[in-house]
Structure 1
Amino acid sequence: MTDSPLAPPNLFGLTDQRKALRVQAEGYVLRASLMMRRARALVTNDRVDACALLTDRRTALGQHFQRYQRLKHGSIFDPIVAYAPTSSKIIARGMKIDCMELGQEFVAYQTRWLRVPPSEWRWYKADMLATVDKLSLHLDAELRAIRQLLMVAEFYRR
């Protein structure tokens, strides 16, 4: 039976497709973690001279998060919400909400620090470290949940 516009996509019915989505999500999280570790090293070493570089890195991280968000919502969360069993739908909806809320927090963080005057370094440093810690914890937990959803998701055909 082939997929039709009225039938759910068979994304999660095939092991290779689930694996490809898992690998993509893992790649996004790995890259984001690396970007945050590099920025964290500059901040913990009080590299006030790197303010412009840190601004560029925040922008790059924001763009990376947007690409990751499109992948997880469009290819993982939305199909699960539309077609998976109720227990998976509940988890995916919660993950979507958490993702959007954290995305808004990151945008607010980016907005607060469009420019980092050296006189505000200590406040930036505290905010940056707290934000990176929160993002890291969220990404790790989210990736574990995505792996589980991809393992158990079964899509129903209409």
Structure 2
Amino acid sequence: MSKHLAAYQHRIIDIVGRAEAVIGADTRPSSQALGKLRWDLARAMNEYQVFKHSRIFDPAIAAGGERGSAASRMREACMAIGSEYRLYVAAWNATNILDNWDDYRAAALTMLARIRAHVDAEMEHLPALVTAPERKAA
């Protein structure tokens, strides 16, 4: 399972890095390039969320104890960043990004930094949930 976890995490970090490079470049990208990056990131984050919830968080929460509490907190943080990204995408889908480039660029780089920080924190803390022993049923 840890191989799959790392693959999801690295995929998201890769997309974030590509997006940061495109958005941070001196020339404005096309709206198609930006849309593809947003879609790639949304899809990767959704797949990662489904994986974490079904394979890591839900079993850890069911196991209870400190592991379950930690999983519950991480699950809430996961849902929050996912919701934040969906709201960000919805807000910018209603706006012409290229006509509002400076505002978009700042918002996008902030959002990408939030996603990177979230995944970095999970890279640090999720392994304990994956490797912790399951509580035995009585």
With structure 2 as the length reference, what TM-score do the two structures score?
0.92
Pairing 1:1-158 to 2, within 5 Å after superposition: 21-84=1-64, 86-114=65-93, 116-158=96-138
Contact 1:36 1:132 in 2 (8 A): yes
Pair 113,47 (structure 1): closer, same or farther in 2 beyond 3 Å = farther
- Counterparts of 1:76 and 1:52, CA distance in 2: 35
Over the aligned positions, Cα root-mean-square deviation in angstroms equals 1.4
Give how far 1:79 is off. 0.5
Q: Whose helix fraction is larger, Structure 1's or Structure 2's?
A: 2
Task: Tell me which of the two structures has the higher relative contact order, counting C-alpha pairs closer than 8 angstroms and 6 or more residues apart.
Answer: 1
The structure that has the greater radius of gyration is: 1
Q: Where do 5+ consecutive residues of structure 2 fail to align?
A: none
Letter matched to residue 104 of structure 1:
S
**For 1:78 and 1:56, how far apart are their aligned partners in 2?**
31
Quote the Cα distance in structure 1 between the aligned partners of 2:110 and 2:18.
Answer: 15
**Alpha-carbon displacement from aligned partner over 1:68-125 (angstroms, at most 9, x marks no partner):** 11110001000110124x0001000001101111110000111122254322000010
Distance 2:13 2:131 in 1: 24
Identity of aligned residues (%): 26
Distance in 2 between residues matched to 1:137 and 1:62, nearest whole Å: 16
Partners of 1:153 and 1:54 lie apart in 2 by 43
